[in-house]
């Protein structure tokens, strides 16, 4: 073929419109309603046709239209207003009264996917959207964050359904020149990094997209110098071939850290969003060793105390594991840099406390092993994660496992309906975005007139129905459906009906088919003449998950065979754009996971802030958010050993709540033509979501609990040639080498009981510390209520004091126990290091009586 030189031509922006070009190159526009409306005003039809992508949009707008806008005073005033907001909230330095990040501190946030906007196809689902919301709030709050991900040419798949409802996948190529990307440059030109690969090395170009104030760094292996197989590493998100997936995760972690170093960025904090990026801390360990001339144990004291690890799923299949022989080629050059043998590095990702690796290499275990700050994403998920991963900390009870929780939140401005925005601006004020910090502002939601709120919600529902009809017509036309079916789609659904929404990844534990278990009972609700119901489904199954695909097919077939295609609709190719229509327009958000397998479930939060009411199993975030004033629960929150029995019980509970509570509440219009009880629940739901479940609250919690203390600790550890890190390393190694001498004799109490409330008794025990001293350990009474299994429920601790030194490293410890509540209790004694959590919870440093 002849050599072809490619070039791109954009319209020439008149000088007064130059800011449109600047705005299109920063994703800040995607969550600012005023900025979105500015683009839409240029040409509403073209804006929608472009997929709401400003770069594509710019190539389609005529020069004549731009000239006309340049003379439009109203448009120019709108542009100036957005430009001023951009200047204040993106270009200006953040206004931090007390800047905890002075001195060049940076937070590096690693994630396999980022859901910023549907025009930027770098995400598959909730994990990515959560990561995108994290960056948006970090930008708003002025955090010195830099994010790291991969640049996928095909992203996640596009979904099509065949006439029978079976999911098909396509992988269209993304034209990177339609994205607001810029190449990262250094003094030597365009930045390119390399990482280990079984075939030698893997090269990656480094790109950047600005997310408000936050740079998102993306690595791309589509480099001519790479062999074809390596070029495909960043082709698709979540490639199902294990070798490619492993290469992606090596690139994300190791390559991400190397890219930051080449850019002159030394992360003070590393936050790994799931185990995919856990290799980042192996590379960071090498960099800290080399930069500060430290050995591995000392560098580990720094890296671990300044690392945050967030796990997002309680489903074991959701955590990547790889055979050791597959990981070994990547580890070999790293072990050489670390000056240790390969087996020791491999053991960091394996179960057990040995330097000899056993079993598969777990990315999640690698992440846990390198991070002092570990968390799940809801209160319930924190409990589940502690139970799941207690074997990483052998000997510790579930309640002591050092995994906490930070409940997820959603970025309000990205998902709030325009009609609700208008109400919030009127009743909460122009700075309503910041209401999560001002509870008194949120309470003003109660002041919104019922008529106004109901009218706003009806407009959102009508807009949703209109969009779904448009999508259905396109779906059926693409399948060459009969003309009668296409015409029926034009009138599918009813904007006056109670509308339920269910959209998420289709996998068996999410139980999309729970509502289909009793077809006749469901159909009766759908076709009821007086109080009808309609349901919208959307979501994708993983390409390899045939059970998930079968759930989709069951829904499509149910609608077809029961002649309810106008009442049950499945929307193809779910993305963030469709998600916005759904969460803004439905009346009820349905969520039916098998407890406790839903880690959080942020879609219900987005629906709640728009006034939708949640009808959900008590799982994930709803276990925290539910009250009868805000929505409904399905079942009692019980967990069943038999999944089939659980499904049967909770399906009946779902039907009962719908028939007896939800439907009557919606259609009760005794006061005018409005459901006043429903509206009261809407307001309570909105207040809850805005106050408790927004991403500003979430990111601020990460900041206060992990980022700021981590930055402070980083400075302390590395001051004076890392004197504090070296002190801790010496202490840590001393404890490890001498702990085998620690032994606790069975404790005694001064009388047997039984006891009455307010009685007390004394517990004594003999502790053998060997060469350790009482100042280096904590001896604790561990007590709590007894379970039927003769084990303790969530245990409490009480310090014991030395009352006698017996020589030879042996000491008598004692404490007094007060009986505050009646019940059956038990106690024992344990010894742990007297140190911070990183040393205190080191595997092997725990002895029980």
Task: Give Rg (Cα) of the chain.
Answer: 29
Mean pLDDT of 251-258: 98
Residue 95: pLDDT above 60?
Answer: yes
Residue 97: pLDDT above 60?
Answer: no
- Separation between Cα atoms, residue 48 and residue 56, nearest integer Å: 11
Token representation of residue 648: 């049967």
pLDDT score recorded for residue 243:
95
- Which pLDDT band, with edges at 50, 70 and 90, does 435 fall under? low
Report yes or no: 609 and 416 within 8 Å, Cβ to Cβ: yes
Residue 631: pLDDT above 70?
Answer: yes
Residue 779: pLDDT above 70?
Answer: yes
- Condensed to tens digits (0 to 9), the pLDDT of residues 274-306 reads 999 999 999 999 999 999 999 999 999 999 999
- Condensed to tens digits (0 to 9), the pLDDT of residues 603-621 reads 999 999 999 999 999 999 9
Mean pLDDT of 641-657: 95
- Which pLDDT band, with edges at 50, 70 and 90, does 1 fall under? low
To the nearest whole percent, how much of the chain has pLDDT over 90? Answer: 85
- Separation between Cα atoms, residue 406 and residue 698, nearest integer Å: 7
DSSP string, 812-832: EEEEEEE--S-S-EEEEEEEE
Q: Which fold has domain 451-667?
A: Rossmann fold (3.40.50)
CATH 3.40.50.2000 domain residues, the chain: 107-408+704-721, 451-667
pLDDT score recorded for residue 764:
97
Report yes or no: 693 and 625 within 8 Å, Cβ to Cβ: yes
By C-alpha distance, which of 295, 291, 281, 289 is closest to 372?
281
pLDDT score recorded for residue 2:
66
Helix, strand or coil for residue 256? helix
pLDDT score recorded for residue 620:
96
Mean pLDDT of 582-592: 98
Residue 703: pLDDT above 90?
Answer: yes
CATH of domain 107-408+704-721: 3.40.50.2000
Report yes or no: 602 and 621 within 8 Å, Cβ to Cβ: yes
Mean pLDDT of 354-364: 86
Helix, strand or coil for residue 66? helix
Higher confidence at residue 403 or residue 791?
403
pLDDT score recorded for residue 673:
84
Task: For residue 806, count other CB atoms closer than 10 A to its CB.
Answer: 11
pLDDT score recorded for residue 452:
97
pLDDT score recorded for residue 192:
98
**What's the mean per-residue pLDDT of the chain?**
94
- Condensed to tens digits (0 to 9), the pLDDT of residues 544-553 reads 999 999 999 9
By C-alpha distance, which of 232, 172, 179 is closest to 208?
179
Residue 600: pLDDT above 70?
Answer: yes
Residue 647: pLDDT above 60?
Answer: yes
- Separation between Cα atoms, residue 725 and residue 804, nearest integer Å: 34
CATH 2.60.40 domain residues, the chain: 742-848
pLDDT score recorded for residue 15:
92
Q: Which fold has domain 742-848?
A: Immunoglobulin-like (2.60.40)
pLDDT score recorded for residue 752:
85
Q: Is 709 exposed, middle or buried (0-12, 13-18, 19+ CB in 10 A)?
A: middle
Report yes or no: 684 and 629 within 8 Å, Cβ to Cβ: yes
pLDDT score recorded for residue 233:
96
Mean pLDDT of 196-203: 92
- Separation between Cα atoms, residue 302 and residue 290, nearest integer Å: 13
């Amino acid at each position: 073929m002849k050599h072809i030189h490619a070039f791109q031509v954009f319209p020439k922006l008149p000088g007064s419109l130059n800011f449109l070009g600047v705005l299109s190159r920063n994703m800040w526009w995607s969550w600012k309603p005023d900025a979105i409306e500015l683009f839409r005003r240029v040409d509403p039809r073209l804006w929608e046709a472009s997929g709401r992508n400003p770069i594509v949009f710019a190539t389609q707008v005529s020069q004549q239209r731009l000239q006309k806008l340049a003379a439009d005073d109203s448009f120019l005033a709108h542009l100036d207003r957005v430009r001023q907001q951009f200047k204040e909230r993106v270009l200006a330095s953040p206004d931090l009264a007390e800047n905890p990040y002075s001195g060049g501190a940076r937070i590096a946030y690693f994630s396999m996917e980022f859901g910023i906007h549907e025009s930027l196809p770098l995400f598959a689902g909730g994990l990515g959207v959560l990561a995108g919301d994290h960056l948006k709030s970090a930008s708003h709050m002025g955090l010195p964050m830099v994010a790291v991900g991969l640049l996928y040419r095909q992203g996640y798949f596009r979904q099509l359904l065949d006439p029978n409802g079976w999911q098909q996948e396509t992988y269209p190529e993304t034209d990177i020149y339609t994205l607001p990307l810029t190449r990262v440059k250094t003094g030597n030109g365009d930045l390119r990094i390399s990482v280990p690969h079984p075939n030698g090395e893997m090269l990656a170009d480094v790109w950047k997209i600005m997310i408000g104030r936050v740079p998102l760094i993306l690595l791309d292996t589509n480099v001519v110098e790479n062999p074809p197989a390596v070029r495909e590493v960043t082709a698709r998100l979540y490639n199902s071939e294990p070798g490619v997936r492993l290469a992606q995760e090596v690139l994300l972690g190791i390559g991400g850290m190397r890219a930051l170093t080449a850019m002159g960025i030394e992360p003070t904090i590393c936050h790994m969003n799931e185990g995919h990026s856990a290799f980042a801390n192996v590379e960071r360990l090498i960099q800290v060793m080399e930069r500060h001339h430290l050995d591995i144990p000392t560098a580990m004291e720094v890296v671990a105390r300044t690392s945050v690890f967030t796990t997002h799923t309680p489903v074991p299949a959701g955590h990547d594991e790889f055979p050791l022989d597959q990981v070994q080629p990547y580890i070999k050059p790293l072990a050489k840099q670390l000056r240790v043998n390969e087996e020791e590095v491999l053991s960091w990702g394996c179960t057990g406390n040995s330097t000899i690796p056993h079993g598969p290499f777990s990315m999640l275990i690698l992440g846990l092993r390198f991070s002092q700050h570990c968390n799940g994403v809801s209160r319930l998920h924190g409990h589940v994660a502690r139970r799941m991963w207690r074997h990483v900390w052998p000997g510790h009870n579930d309640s002591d496992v050092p995994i906490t929780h930070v409940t997820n939140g959603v970025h309000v401005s990205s998902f709030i309906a325009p009609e609700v925005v208008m109400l919030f601006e009127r009743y909460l004020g122009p700075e309503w975005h910041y209401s999560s910090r001002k509870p008194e502002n949120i309470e003003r939601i109660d002041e919104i007139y019922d008529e106004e709120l109901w009218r706003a919600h009806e407009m959102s529902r009508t807009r949703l129905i209109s969009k779904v009809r448009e999508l259905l017509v396109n779906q059926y036309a693409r399948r060459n459906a009969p003309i009668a079916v296409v015409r029926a789609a034009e009138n599918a659904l009813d904007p006056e009906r109670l509308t339920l929404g269910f959209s998420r990844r289709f996998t068996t534990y999410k139980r999309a088919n729970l509502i289909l278990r009793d077809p006749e009972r469901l159909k009766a609700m759908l076709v009821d003449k007086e109080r009808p119901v309609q349901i919208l489904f959307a979501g994708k199954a993983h390409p390899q998950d045939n059970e998930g695909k079968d759930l989709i097919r069951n829904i499509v077939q149910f609608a077809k065979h029961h002649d309810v295609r106008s009442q049950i609709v499945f929307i193809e190719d779910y993305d963030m754009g469709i998600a916005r229509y759904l969460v803004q327009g439905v009346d009820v958000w349905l969520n039916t996971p098998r407890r406790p397998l839903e880690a959080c479930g942020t879609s219900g939060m987005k629906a709640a802030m728009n006034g939708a009411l949640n009808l959900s199993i008590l799982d994930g975030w709803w276990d925290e958010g539910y009250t009868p004033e805000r929505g409904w629960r399905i079942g009692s929150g019980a967990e069943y050993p038999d999944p089939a029995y659980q499904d049967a019980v909770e399906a009946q509970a779902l039907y009962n709540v719908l028939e007896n509570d939800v439907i009557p509440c919606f259609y009760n219009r005794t006061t005018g033509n409005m459901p006043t009880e429903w509206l009261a629940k809407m307001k309570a739901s909105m207040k809850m979501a805005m106050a408790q479940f927004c991403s500003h609250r979430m990111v601020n919690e990460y900041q206060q609990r992990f980022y700021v203390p981590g930055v402070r600790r980083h400075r302390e550890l590395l001051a004076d040639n890392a004197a504090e890190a070296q002190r801790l390393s010496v202490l840590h190694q001393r404890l490890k080498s001498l702990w085998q001498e620690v032994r606790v004799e069975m404790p005694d109490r001064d009388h047997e009981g039984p006891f009455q409330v307010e009685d007390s008794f004394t517990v004594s025990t003999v502790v053998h510390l060997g060469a350790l001293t009482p100042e280096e350990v904590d001896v604790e009474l561990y007590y709590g209520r007894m379970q039927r299994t003769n084990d303790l429920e969530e245990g409490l601790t009480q310090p014991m004091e030395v009352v006698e030194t017996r020589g030879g490293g042996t000491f008598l410890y004692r404490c007094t126990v007060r009986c505050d509540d009646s019940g059956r209790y038990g106690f024992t004694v344990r010894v742990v290091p007297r140190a911070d959590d990183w040393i205190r919870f080191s595997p092997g440093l725990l002895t029980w009586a």
